[in-house]
Amino acid sequence: MTDEHRSGFACFVGRPNAGKSTLTNALVGTKIAITSSKPQTTRHAIRGIVHRDDAQLIIIDTPGLHRPRTLLGQRLNDVVRSTWSEVDVVGFCVPANEKVGPGDKFIASELAKIARHTPVVGIVTKTDLATPDQVAQQLVALQEVMEFADLVPVSAVDGYQVGTLADVLVRRLPEGPQLYPGGDLTDEPEQTLVAELIREAALEGVRDELPHSIAVVVEEMQPREGRDDLIDVYAHVFVERPSQKGIVLGHRGSRLKQVGADARKHIEALLGTKVYLDLHVKVAKDWQRDPKQLGRLGF
Ligand SMILES: Nc1nc2c(ncn2[C@@H]2O[C@H](COP(=O)(O)OP(=O)(O)OP(=O)(O)O)[C@@H](O)[C@H]2O)c(=O)[nH]1
Ligand SMILES: [Mg+2]
């Protein structure tokens, strides 16, 4: 036994919906990244910190790499590429219950270029949704698309091999000291986490193009004057077209009310205080394609 300490960065990449954010949360042990069944949920690189006696592993969850149809899509892909070029190890996530497809092969061909200097670990996610046989076949199929430093099947939902994956990633980190203070689980600003929790609630139950059209900005967040147990949060929920506004609001505002109630519960858990949440729906016309609007929304 040696008592060397390792520290460094891993990132998860993969198609939208592959389970990257859910896996990040499972490894960190807390929800720091929002997740949903809609593709392209994650929109920036989110750092989650895993503290162990022998190591500090910083996981960077990235947006799903996809064929971009908007300027936002291009920006998201740029985030992925700049992230994987800066980490000590890359985890390439492919779900156990979906065939290895063209999207995965495209990602593999890109990763093959960096694999010379950065180890790439193949991760078969969502094993709870497949039989052991299917998982085995998926491992074989994945091995055919590129050469991996390691291959690990995991389930973020039942916890299968999550600890093993942490070991595998830690082994690829250089020796080094703690990079973040002991208790930190992420370096995301609270305001960003709050905006994301609102977006997660807003994604629930909407379909088609609408999930992509929703963006959330927290305009103001501060303790209520004279109170230390209540925080006021004012946020804007942006959509791209006036017709989408009605859908988000729902009949007499009933949908938005539900979104607010759902989000508030999660925000109160995050902040550990009571929260007054004020949501306004606004139209930012075609923001996914408009450089100016994207800038304003933080992309
Ligand atoms: N059963 C099961 N479902 C999972 C697992 N991991 C993720 N999911 C589900 O798969 C969907 C997508 O998960 P995310 O973690 O948001 O996927 P992602 O790769 O971060 O997606 P993007 O951010 O869009 O790229 C969600 O509905 C999750 O609940 C798993 O291990 N088992
Ligand atoms: Mg994600």
What CATH number should be reported for the domain holding residue 218?
3.30.300.20
* Residues 198 and 161 reside in one and the same domain: no
**Average pLDDT of 119-146?**
98
* Residues 27 and 86 reside in one and the same domain: yes
Q: Which atom of ligand 1 is nearest to the CA of 64?
A: 25
* Residues 165 and 60 reside in one and the same domain: yes
**Average pLDDT of 248-266?**
97
- What's the 67 CA to ligand 1 centre distance in angstroms? 19
**Average pLDDT of 288-296?**
95
* Residues 33 and 149 reside in one and the same domain: yes
Here the CATH number for the domain that contains residue 67 is: 3.40.50.300
For residue 45, being part of any structural domain is answered with yes
For residue 94, being part of any structural domain is answered with yes
> Would the pLDDT of 107 be above 60?
yes
- What's the 164 CA to ligand 2 centre distance in angstroms? 21
> Would the pLDDT of 1 be above 60?
no
* pLDDT at residue number 205: 86
Give every CB contact of residue 90 below 8 A, 6+ residues apart in sequence.
10, 11, 12, 13, 84, 111, 114, 118, 119, 120, 121
Report which bound ligand comes closest to the CA of 16.
1
8-state DSSP, 89: E
For residue 269, being part of any structural domain is answered with yes
Which stretch of 94-98, 140-144, 206-210, 278-282 has the lowest confidence by average pLDDT?
206-210
Q: Which atom of ligand 1 is nearest to the CA of 15?
A: 25
For residue 181, being part of any structural domain is answered with no
Residue type, 82: S
* pLDDT at residue number 2: 59
**Average pLDDT of 272-276?**
97
- Structural domain range at position 107: 6-171
Q: Grade residue 261 by pLDDT with cuts at 50, 70 and 90.
A: very high
* pLDDT at residue number 33: 97
Q: Which atom of ligand 1 is nearest to the CA of 154?
A: 31
Share of the chain above pLDDT 70, in %: 99
* pLDDT at residue number 245: 96
Give every CB contact of residue 60 below 8 A, 6+ residues apart in sequence.
9, 10, 11, 12, 45, 46, 47, 48, 83, 87
8-state DSSP, 173: S
* pLDDT at residue number 121: 98
* Residues 161 and 195 reside in one and the same domain: no
> Of 271, 249, 274, 266, which is closest to residue 197 (Cα–Cα)?
266
* Residues 153 and 12 reside in one and the same domain: yes
* Residues 151 and 215 reside in one and the same domain: no
* Residues 72 and 194 reside in one and the same domain: no
179-223 pLDDT tens trace: 999 989 999 999 999 999 999 999 998 988 999 999 999 999 999
- What's the 4 CA to ligand 2 centre distance in angstroms? 32
Known binding-site residue numbers for GTP:
14-21, 61-65, 125-128
Residue type, 227: R
Question: What is the overall mean pLDDT for the chain?
Answer: 96
**Average pLDDT of 29-40?**
95
* Residues 68 and 161 reside in one and the same domain: yes
**Average pLDDT of 248-259?**
96
E strand residue ranges, the chain: 6-14, 46-51, 55-61, 89-95, 120-125, 150-153, 215-223, 230-239, 274-283
For residue 219, being part of any structural domain is answered with yes
* Residues 15 and 162 reside in one and the same domain: yes
For residue 234, being part of any structural domain is answered with yes
Q: Grade residue 244 by pLDDT with cuts at 50, 70 and 90.
A: very high
> Would the pLDDT of 3 be above 90?
no
* Residues 87 and 151 reside in one and the same domain: yes
Pocket test for ligand 1, best of 11, 15, 22 (most atoms within 8 A of CB): 22
CA distance 83 to 123: 18
**Average pLDDT of 228-237?**
97
Domain stops at, among 171, 199, 225: 171
For residue 220, being part of any structural domain is answered with yes
For residue 223, being part of any structural domain is answered with yes
* Residues 85 and 136 reside in one and the same domain: yes
Instruction: Name the domain count of the chain.
Output: 2
Largest CA-CA distance found in the chain, in angstroms, rounded: 65
Q: Grade residue 32 by pLDDT with cuts at 50, 70 and 90.
A: very high
